Structure 1
Amino acid sequence: MTLSDLLIILATAVSPLIAVQVTRFLDDRNEERGRKLQVFKTLMATRAYNISLTHVEALNRIDLEFSEKRPREKMVLDQWQQYLDHLGDKTLTGDAWGRKRVDLLVDLLHVMGKSLGYDFNKTSIKNGTYSPTAHGRVETEQDRIRELILELLEGRGTLPMYVTNLPGQSEASSKAAG
């Protein structure tokens, strides 16, 4: 047996193993990118609803899906840390806190989009959402209902009641009329 015969046998035996390893590597890479895209798409879709459960879950997955070892992803993690720090900041209040929160979220989504190959500008990220006013009204009403129920349950509120029909009242009215 010659050297070339041995090399052909070796290549024939090893080729399927190499093909399987390359396929696994590519599948893992695609799955990893898919998870990052899912985080990004969820945050983009819910950016007008920052207290929605899916938005919060996607934010909390950033640390899991993005790596400090890759420069573009490290930028995402750095921006996420700034946003997270602001979310817990109690020094700013009201509109100032809200405006800064929006700006930091836009910065986070912009950096994340760039790291994933999207080229959104910050203005379109900030203003390119549709959020019906009815959603805000429903959310406000639900918050108010929860507050009132809690006040009742904690004894801080009252439930107004008006009696309009007492039993036997209609019988007495008809006897007095007749």
Structure 2
Amino acid sequence: MEKISIADWLIILATLLSPVIAVQVTRYLDERNEIRGRKLSIFKTLMATRAYTISWAHVEALNRIDLEFVKSQKKEKAVVEAWKEYHDLLNNDKLSPEQWATKRIELLVELLHKMAIVLDYDFDKTHIKNSSYAPRIHSDTEAQQEAIRKGVIDVLAGNRPLPMVVTNLNNQDG
């Protein structure tokens, strides 16, 4: 019987282990891509809705930051810290509306810029701040809907009367 050499054992071992290693590598790469995909989803949603910061999609994406970006990685820690600062501002009612609005834009741009760095997008802060499109009619419609909601609430709460005018009252003698 011929003696099996070390090279033969290595070939046998590689043959047996290569499918296991391939599966593990594939699983690792799939998981890494899935994690990146979730981060990309948050970033893309925030970029797409940066002119509509009260939209449900925007708010949901903001709330997902803590779930997907981790402090243990240096670049991602910057995202988490920027989100914390932005979140603190969103809950701050001590600033004037003008100061708050200016600071909100500044901090959102900073957050998006930090996310762009993590996700390898080449967006500078000026591009992030100035390149979104929001038709004027959207803000007009939003303001009108808010006025309607407030008006209806005031009427239903009894704080405002509902004006009524009677017209075409048929006077039938009969």
Is 1:135 paired with 2:138?
Answer: yes
What is the match of residue 151 of structure 2?
A: 148
TM superposition score normalised by structure 2: 0.94
Corresponding letter in the other structure for 1:157: R
What is the match of residue 49 of structure 1?
A: 52
Is 1:121 paired with 2:130?
Answer: no
Corresponding letter in the other structure for 2:45: T
What is the match of residue 99 of structure 2?
A: 96
C-alpha separation in 1, matches of 2:148 and 2:64: 32
Give secondary structure in 1 for the equivalent of 2:72.
coil
Q: Deviations over 1:77-96 (max 9, x none)?
A: 11111111111112202111
Q: Which ranges of structure 2 fall in alignment gaps of 5 or more residues?
A: none
Give secondary structure in 2 for the equivalent of 1:150.
helix
Is 1:12 paired with 2:15?
Answer: yes
What is the match of residue 176 of structure 1?
A: none
Among the aligned pairs, what percent are the same residue? 55
Corresponding letter in the other structure for 2:119: L
How many pairs does the alignment contain? 171
Q: 1:6: Cα distance to partner?
A: 2.8
C-alpha separation in 1, matches of 2:70 and 2:97: 34
Q: 1:141: Cα distance to partner?
A: 0.5
C-alpha separation in 2, matches of 1:39 and 1:141: 29
TM superposition score normalised by structure 1: 0.92
C-alpha separation in 1, matches of 2:46 and 2:96: 24
Is 1:75 paired with 2:78?
Answer: yes
Q: 1:166: Cα distance to partner?
A: 1.6
C-alpha separation in 1, matches of 2:130 and 2:9: 65
Larger Rg: 1
Q: Which ranges of structure 1 fall in alignment gaps of 5 or more residues?
A: 173-178
What is the match of residue 35 of structure 2?
A: 32
Corresponding letter in the other structure for 2:168: N
Q: Deviations over 1:126-160 (max 9, x none)?
A: 11111111001100010011111111111111111
C-alpha separation in 2, matches of 1:10 and 1:102: 59
Give secondary structure in 1 for the equivalent of 2:50.
coil
C-alpha separation in 2, matches of 1:140 and 1:151: 16
Corresponding letter in the other structure for 1:102: I
What is the match of residue 175 of structure 1?
A: none
